[in-house]
């Protein structure tokens, strides 16, 4: 059960920044910020042989397998495949003809999730923008409107920190968000809600209906997390409501707050994720924003998000 050999690292080329890590890649990744030359890369992306299946896989699904050594295979059959080892050694299937936009789409989602879990970093399932000098993370499973809300806030002038995958690093008693690619993935209806022309936006995977809003990004440094806002939908409501969560409800269900929590647990992060979330809840206020399913102007939700940060500031000033 030998894993395929690691191809040599490209010694040339520009490094780019992926979720706070210096990535040296043989394939162009135009959505990522370019790093100054001279540093030692944290991550490498090379082309090489990627097996059809992982020998001795401890878990397998149609798209993802986990090897006994904690390596992760992400494969979209016939399109693209990545092997992720040791939290930073990425191999892109040498037989894949996938376009750059397809490579980026999966690199920034499932592959990034695998890297962060392998490295023991907490990835919130959240889109994140700057409000004043702090970052606010809007969290929830797919379909809750994270990206739409981030898009709405972006159009109000808030810098986008990351979309969908939101790595959090704990430093000096603070929770810091590590910025991701400053782009927001939108369905056509969400683009419409934001008043954007579907045709005017970039595509992700060729011919796929999802579109990419290239937003103004924050600078590349870590940002202090000022609040987490968990998004929920309740058809019974007529108008959106925002309230503070306290106690264990702030971080449960864990699966709704962490990006691919089950993958993390299978990579040995069961206790680590629990501890990180408890720590997060003791440092950062966590809110719930519940909206009716339809008929809410995204800018109204954006105002509520901003108001959470302002209330939080008052609380701190008062106490």
| Interacting residues with another protein (CB under 8 A) | 61-64, 74, 76-77, 105-106, 109-110, 113, 141-143, 164, 185, 187, 189, 204-205, 208-210, 234-236, 246-252, 254-255, 260-263, 265, 270-271, 274-275, 278, 281-282, 292-295
- The nearest distance, CB 24 to another protein, in angstroms, is 25
Q: Give the residue with the Cβ less far from another protein, 121 or 218.
A: 121
Q: Give the residue with the Cβ less far from another protein, 43 or 114.
A: 114
- The nearest distance, CB 23 to another protein, in angstroms, is 20
Q: Give the residue with the Cβ less far from another protein, 223 or 265.
A: 265
Q: Give the residue with the Cβ less far from another protein, 67 or 113.
A: 113
Q: Give the residue with the Cβ less far from another protein, 18 or 218.
A: 18
- The nearest distance, CB 163 to another protein, in angstroms, is 11
- The nearest distance, CB 177 to another protein, in angstroms, is 20
- The nearest distance, CB 71 to another protein, in angstroms, is 14
- The nearest distance, CB 293 to another protein, in angstroms, is 5
Contact of 121 with 169, CB cutoff 8 Å: yes
- The nearest distance, CB 218 to another protein, in angstroms, is 23
CA 34 to chain CA centroid, Å, is 19
Residue 251 in tokens:
């971080």
Q: Give the residue with the Cβ less far from another protein, 61 or 197.
A: 61
Q: Give the residue with the Cβ less far from another protein, 151 or 222.
A: 151
Residue 230 in tokens:
């968990």
């Amino acid at each position: 059960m030998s894993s395929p050999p690691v191809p040599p690292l490209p010694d040339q080329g520009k490094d780019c920044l992926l979720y706070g890590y210096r990535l040296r890649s043989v394939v162009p990744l135009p959505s990522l910020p370019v790093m100054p030359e001279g540093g030692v890369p944290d991550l490498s992306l090379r082309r090489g042989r990627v097996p059809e299946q992982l020998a001795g896989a401890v878990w397998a699904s149609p798209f993802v397998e986990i090897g006994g050594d904690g390596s992760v295979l992400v494969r979209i059959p016939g399109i693209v495949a990545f092997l992720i080892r040791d939290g930073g050694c990425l191999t892109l299937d040498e037989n894949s003809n996938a376009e750059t936009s397809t490579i980026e789409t999966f690199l920034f989602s499932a592959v990034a999730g695998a890297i962060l879990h392998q490295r023991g970093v907490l990835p919130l399932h959240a889109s994140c923008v700057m409000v004043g000098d702090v970052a606010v993370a809007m969290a929830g499973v797919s379909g809750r409107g994270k990206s739409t809300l981030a898009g709405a806030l972006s159009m109000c002038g808030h810098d986008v920190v990351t979309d969908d995958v939101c790595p959090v690093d704990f430093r000096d008693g603070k929770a810091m968000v590590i910025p991701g690619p400053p782009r927001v993935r939108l369905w056509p209806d969400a683009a419409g809600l934001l008043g954007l022309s579907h045709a005017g936006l970039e595509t992700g995977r060729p011919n796929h209906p999802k579109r990419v809003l290239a937003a103004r990004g924050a600078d590349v440094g870590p940002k202090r997390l000022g609040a987490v806002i968990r998004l929920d939908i309740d058809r019974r409501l007529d108008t959106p409501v925002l309230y503070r969560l306290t106690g264990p409800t702030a971080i449960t269900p864990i699966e709704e707050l962490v990006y691919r929590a089950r993958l993390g647990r299978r990579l040995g992060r069961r206790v680590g994720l629990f501890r990180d979330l408890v720590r997060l809840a003791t440092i950062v206020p966590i809110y719930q924003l519940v909206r009716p399913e339809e008929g809410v102007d995204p800018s109204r939700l954006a105002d509520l998000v901003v108001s959470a940060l302002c209330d939080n500031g008052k609380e701190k000033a008062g106490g």
